[in-house]
């Protein structure tokens, strides 16, 4: 026979031993078992769940996916014998009927290493030094190879629409219509499985119901993790791409922060050989997620687990064989258990790092501080023991800072969520807090929402150049003035909230007096007593219907126990832009007194103060309306204005209460 020669061809001295057809057929099963790369997995102890699933896949591989052929049909088919040495050199000999064309000569040059054929007759190369990536992650890319996902748009759309017509071979053939490289073949198979195969929660919990046959998976379109991995491996083999199933431990459904791993493995995923090196992927987690409260599966495609960078993949996947970490240096199981677990959404939403880098944090003087760095402005929120309380979360241009004050000693669960480009906050980090001291001075108002302090987000919402850029404002006399620029067409609303009954829902607006100038708003605040208060800021576009939207809040702190400021006067809608009140600022006036009034109003013809009687105010050369009013015999005092001198209709702009006799 003639062999095709090229620069890579080698001379081989070969001893060929040929047994009878009957003896060769009897040895086929044994040879397949010895050559199967997953056979090594079966010889190690301590793996029953996922390993049993892989074993069933192997049995099905040996028995054939298309049903048992008759002995006559088997004898008519070419027989393939493959041999390897320690360096992975492969020699394949085909024995075929005399009048048949050798199948290997049809498809391959002997000088080229076999990548695998339609029948899965291959032995993938084990990972070596050139497959290893440096640890820790260098932040350069989430993938183990450079990818432009836009290149896959047409392929993804096509693959996701392919339907099962008959068997697995035809399905793979249909998927590969738009695939022109091994990478595109893997991508098409990945997309189809992630969009069509549902995770079977019941099958995962009841081993006797696990579906391993591809025909069963295609029929039910349900399986568990080893079914996902086995199906993916089988489809890749049909497509001629080297692929192996990797069992191991995972930080998936049911994982608790800080837990240890032992006994049987709980998960399986795949490694594929592309462009000269191995790459990792997990089609189970790429397809969706299981709700922890309902144990129901939801399709939710996750790009993160396709060719994931090994330094990121190791955060929630620990393989049975450390070589499949594809890391240099590899991680130990203890490191895997103790390392910080950044969920896939952490990276999907552009986060780069988080500190501390350990899942368990001990508070210092009753406080724990967490920071996150992101590659773009991102909205965050947190929950401590399921509630959005006891923390100060401030947004930064590229990340956030969170200070948490646990209310009791002991263990607490801290969850951090991010919004990213979507409209939904999703969990990105979880910490366990150990608190052995409670700082009572660190107690925060329950109504202190997130975020605290102005940021890129408040600027995006139309509030600019704040007078107080820091989230906390300290006041010694219980008063402060906060101002900021307001974009055109934006209305601002502010309210004050404390943890006692003095600031009620009816009065939370009355401890703030709002002054609106042309492009700037000032908030004068008077606290009813010492303590901590949340000053909330809301905005709304004037031309749009609907409610005001919360933007941020300040934390106001006052330790002066002598503070006892009254409410401001109540203002009405006609209190216009640019108006200014100098006196009286207190919303409660003394009884039986002459009270001076001084305020600046724009575009007003006349101003009256009405108690039991009516007193006019006069306009001075500086542009202020001045005068006085007696509070004798009345419980309320109003400031009224006449906008048009030709009309007699006065409107209320301010309302005061008068103390009891």
**Quick one: which H or E segment has residue 426?**
strand 426-435
Contact present, 251 and 314 (Cβ < 8 Å): no
Residues 266, 418: Cα–Cα separation, whole Å? 28
- Regarding beta strands 549-558 and 472-474, do their DSSP bridges make them parallel or antiparallel, or are they unpaired? parallel
Q: How far apart are CA 643 and CA 596, in angstroms?
A: 22
State the Cα–Cα distance between residues 122 and 107, nearest whole angstrom.
Answer: 14
Nearest to 340 by CA among 368, 312, 367: 312
Q: What are phi and psi of 331, to 5 degrees?
A: -95, 150
**H helix runs in 308-455, sequence order:** 310-313, 333-338, 344-348
- Which residue is catalytic, options 267, 279, 309, 497? 267
Would residue 435 show up in a list of annotated catalytic residues for this protein?
A: no
- 248-287 in b/e form (b: 16+ CB < 10 A) is bbbbbbebebeeebeeebbbbbbbbbbeebbbbbbbbbbb
Tokens standing for 65? 């996916």
Give 637's strand partners. 656
| Residue 368 tokens, joined | 């724990």
User: What three-state secondary structure class fits 392?
Assistant: strand
Write down the catalytic residue from 174, 196, 200, 225: 225
Three-state secondary structure readout of 237-286:
HHCCCCEEEEEEEECCCCCCCCCCCCCCCCEEEEEEEECCEEEEECHHHH
Tell me the pairing of strands 327-328 and 351-355: unpaired
**C-beta separation of 185 from 192 below 8 A:** no
Residue 416 and residue 380 in contact, taking contact as beta carbons nearer than 8 Å: yes
Confirm whether 309 is a catalytic residue.
no
Residue 233: which H helix or E strand, with range?
Answer: helix 225-238
Length of the chain: 661
Q: In the Cβ-directed half-sphere of 660, how many Cα atoms lie within 13 Å?
A: 0
The CA distance from 529 to 522, in Å, is: 22
- In 15-48, where does DSSP find H-type helix? 21-35, 39-42
**Angstrom distance (rounded) from CA 552 to CA 600:** 30
* 3 state DSSP class of 540: strand
In Å, how far from its chain's centre is CA 136?
21
Active site residue 279: no
How far is it, in rounded angstroms, from Cα 445 to Cα 391? 10
Q: Which of 282, 309, 412, 558 is catalytic?
A: 282
- Residues with catalytic roles: 225, 267, 282
């Amino acid at each position: 026979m003639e062999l095709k020669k090229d620069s890579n061809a080698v001379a081989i001295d070969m001893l060929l031993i040929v047994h009878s057809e009957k003896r060769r057929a009897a040895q086929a099963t044994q040879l397949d078992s010895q050559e199967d790369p997953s056979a090594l997995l079966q010889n190690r102890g301590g793996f029953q769940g996922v390993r049993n699933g892989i074993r069933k896949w192997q049995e099905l591989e040996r028995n054939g996916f298309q049903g048992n052929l008759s002995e006559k049909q088997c004898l008519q088919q070419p027989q393939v014998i493959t041999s390897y040495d320690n360096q992975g050199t492969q020699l394949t000999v085909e024995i075929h009927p005399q009048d048949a064309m050798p199948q290997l000569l049809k498809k391959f040059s002997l000088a080229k290493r076999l990548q695998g054929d339609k029948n899965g007759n291959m032995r993938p190369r084990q990972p070596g030094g050139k497959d290893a990536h440096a640890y820790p992650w260098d932040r350069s890319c989430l993938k183990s190879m450079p990818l432009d996902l836009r290149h896959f748009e047409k392929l993804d759309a096509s693959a996701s629409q392919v339907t099962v017509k008959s068997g697995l071979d035809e399905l793979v053939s249909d998927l590969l219509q738009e695939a022109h490289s091994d990478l595109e073949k893997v991508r098409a198979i990945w997309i189809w499985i992630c969009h069509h195969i549902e995770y079977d929660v019941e099958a995962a919990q009841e081993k006797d119901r696990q579906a391993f046959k591809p025909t069963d998976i295609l029929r039910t379109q349900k399986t568990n993790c080893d079914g996902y991995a086995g199906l993916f491996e089988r489809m890749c083999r049909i497509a001629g791409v080297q692929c192996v199933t990797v069992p191991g431990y995972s930080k998936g459904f049911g994982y608790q922060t800080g837990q240890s791993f032992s006994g049987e493995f709980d998960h399986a995923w795949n490694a594929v050989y592309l462009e000269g090196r191995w790459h990792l992927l997990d089609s189970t987690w790429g397809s969706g997620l299981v709700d922890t409260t309902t144990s129901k599966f939801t399709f939710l495609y996750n790009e993160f687990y396709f060719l994931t960078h090994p330094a990121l993949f190791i955060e929630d996947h620990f393989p049975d064989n450390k070589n499949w970490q594809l890391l240099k240096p590899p991680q130990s199981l203890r490191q895997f258990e103790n390392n910080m677990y950044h969920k896939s959404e952490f990276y999907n939403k552009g986060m780069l790092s988080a500190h501390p880098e350990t899942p368990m944090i001990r508070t210092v003087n009753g406080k724990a501080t967490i920071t996150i760095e992101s590659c773009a402005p991102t909205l965050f929120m947190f929950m401590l023991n399921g509630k959005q309380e006891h923390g100060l979360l401030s947004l930064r241009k590229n990340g956030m800072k969170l200070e948490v004050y646990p209310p009791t000693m002991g263990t607490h669960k801290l969850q951090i969520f991010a919004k990213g480009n979507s409209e939904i906050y999703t969990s990105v980090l979880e910490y366990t807090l150990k608190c052995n001291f409670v700082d009572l001075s660190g107690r925060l108002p329950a109504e202190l929402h997130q975020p605290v302090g102005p940021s890129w987000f408040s600027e995006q919402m139309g509030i600019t150049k704040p007078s107080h850029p820091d989230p906390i404002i300290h006041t010694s006399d219980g008063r402060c003035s906060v101002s900021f620029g307001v974009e055109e067409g934006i209305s601002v609303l502010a309210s004050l909230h404390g943890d006692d009954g003095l600031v009620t829902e009816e009065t939370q607006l009355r401890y703030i007096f709002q002054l609106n100038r042309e492009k700037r708003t000032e908030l004068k605040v008077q606290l009813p007593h010492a303590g901590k208060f949340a000053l909330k800021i809301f905005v709304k576009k004037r031309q749009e219907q609907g409610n005001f939207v919360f933007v941020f809040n300040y934390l106001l702190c006052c330790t002066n126990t002598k503070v006892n400021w009254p409410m401001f006067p109540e203002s009405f809608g006609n209190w216009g832009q640019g108006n200014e009140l100098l006196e009286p600022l207190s919303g409660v006036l003394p009884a039986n007194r002459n009270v001076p009034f001084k305020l600046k109003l724009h575009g007003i013809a006349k101003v009256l103060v009405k108690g039991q009687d009516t007193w006019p105010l006069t306009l001075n050369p500086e542009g202020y309306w001045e005068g006085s009013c007696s509070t004798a015999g009345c419980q309320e005092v109003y400031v009224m204005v006449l906008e048009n001198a030709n009309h007699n209709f006065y409107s209320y702009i301010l309302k005061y209460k008068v103390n009891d006799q």
